[in-house]
Chains A and B, each alone.
Chain A
Amino acid sequence: MKDKIRIGCGAGFSGDRLDPAVVLVKDGKLDYLVLECLAERTIALAQKRKLQNPAWGYDPLLERRIESLLELLLEQKVKLITNMGAANPLSAADKVIEIAKRKNLSVRVAAVVGDDVLAKLDVAALSLETKQPLSSHGKIVSANAYLGADGILEALKTNADIIITGRVADPSLFIAPMLHELGWAENDFDRMGKGTVLGHLLECAGQVTGGYYADPGKKHVPDMVNLGHPFVDVFADGSGLLGKVNGTGGVINLDTAKEQLLYEVVNPHAYYTPDVIADFTSVKLMQQAKDRVRVTGGSGTTKPDTLKVSVGYQAGYLGEGEITYAGGNAVGRAKLAGEIVRERLRHTFNEIKVDLMGLNAVHGNALHSTEPYEVRLRVAAKTPDAALAARVGEEVEALYTNGPGGGGGVRKYVHEMIGIVSCLMDRNLIKPEVIIKSI
Chain B
Amino acid sequence: MKLYDIAHSRAGDKGNTLTLSLIPYQEQDYALLCEKITEEKVKQHLGEIVKGKVTRYELPNISSLLFVCEDALNTGVTTSWNMDAHGKTLSYALLEMEI
Contact = CB atoms under 8 A, between A and B. Distances in A.
B68 A284 contact: no
B48 A266 contact: no
A283 B84 CA distance: 31
Interface of B is mostly: mixed
Contact of A418 (B15, B78, B83): B78
Contact of A362 (B12, B15, B83): B83
B39 interface: no
A254 to B, nearest CB: 8
Interface string A202-222: 000000000011010011000
B49 A262 contact: no
Contact of B49 (A40, A263, A355, A364): A364
A262 B14 contact: no
Given A265-B66, A417-B78, A355 B12 contact: no
A422 B14 CA distance: 11
A315 B78 contact: yes
A266 B84 contact: no
A60 interface: no
A297 interface: yes
Interface residues of B, number: 37
Given A262-B59, A266-B14, A266-B17, A420 B78 contact: yes
B47 A265 contact: no
A183 interface: no
Given A259-B8, A315-B78, A420-B76, A283 B48 contact: no
A15 interface: no
Contact of B59 (A268, A355, A417, A418): A268
B79 A129 contact: no
Contacts of A367: 93, 96
A361 interface: yes
B61 interface: yes
Size bracket of the A interface: 35 or more
A326 to B, nearest CB: 19
A240 to B, nearest CB: 15
A158 B61 CA distance: 40
B92 to A, nearest CB: 8
Contacts of A40: 77-78
B77 A265 contact: no
A182 to B, nearest CB: 24
A113 interface: no
A264 B62 CA distance: 17
| Ranked 5 nearest A-B pairs via Cβ | A264-B12, A262-B21, A259-B10, A362-B84, A419-B79
Given A266-B14, A281-B61, 6 more contacts: A40-B78, A284-B61, A315-B79, A363-B93, A367-B93, A417-B79
Interface of B: 8-10, 12-17, 19, 21, 23, 25, 47-49, 57, 59, 61-62, 64, 66, 68, 75-79, 81-84, 89-90, 92-93, 96
